[in-house]
Amino acid sequence: MTSQRSLLEKAYLVYFALHIPILFLVDLVPFYPRSLWATSSAPLSFLGDIRAYYFEAYKDQFFAPPPATVPSFFPLFALLELVIHLPVSVWAVRKLWPSAPGLDGKAELLLLVYGVETVLTTATCMWEAWQWDEKLVSLSEKTTLLGGLYGAYLALAAILSVDMYVRISKRFDGIDGRKKVQ
């Protein structure tokens, strides 16, 4: 069991370590002043280029340039990435680093909340993406986007959620067992 836990924690470390630059380079860009990234002469124009490449490669309509509209929930989900995903990811990298003491009960609880939030928001985005007009995004492109990118993200968040739930449940079982003995 310990080796499985260790393997999962290494996977979580890689996930969170990769998630941080993706947040800064793709997901959080709309929060930056447009003058910094939105034109080819902007100092951070490469951020606009990354988003344009991502949109062209995957046809992800959540990243379509204006005047395209995004669903009303999407800005809220982006805000959640700023106020939950970014700080939790930075914290998790420190907590999961090989020289760190490991996860305690509070860490497991925070990661459970993070995992459930990520599952719900990702599943919502996947459902919305599945509904996109096939004139904009072909079935093949949806399969790549949903099965590859969003699907992997959803799967890891689901595994994290179940893993943290099981760990927390075992902690409660231990407490309940001690209470019965007393």
Give me the number of domains the chain comprises: 1
Does residue 33 form part of some domain? no
How far, in Å, CA of 145 to CA of 69, rounded? Answer: 19
CA dihedral 93, 94, 100, 101 (to 10 degrees): -90
Does residue 154 form part of some domain? yes
Does residue 131 form part of some domain? yes
The helix (H) or strand (E) run that includes residue 90 is: helix 86-96
Question: Hunting for tokens 């985005």 — which residue is that?
Answer: 125
Does residue 144 form part of some domain? yes
CA 20 and chain centroid, separation: 10
CA 95, 100, 105, 108 torsion-angle sign: positive
Tokens of 11: 């996977």
Kindly give the confidence (pLDDT) of every residue in the chain, 182 residues in length, as a single tens digit, with 9 standing for 90 and above: 567 779 999 999 999 999 999 999 999 999 999 999 999 999 999 999 999 999 999 999 999 988 888 999 999 999 999 999 999 999 999 999 999 998 999 999 999 999 999 999 999 999 999 999 999 999 999 999 999 999 999 999 999 999 999 999 999 887 766 666 55
Q: Closest Cα to residue 141, out of 55, 23, 51, 74?
A: 55
Give the angle subtended at the CA of 62 by the CAs of 140 and 34, to the nearest 5°: 140
**What domain range includes position 167?**
2-22+72-181
Does residue 97 form part of some domain? yes
Does residue 48 form part of some domain? no
Does residue 30 form part of some domain? no
How far, in Å, CA of 118 to CA of 150, rounded? Answer: 11
Does residue 60 form part of some domain? no
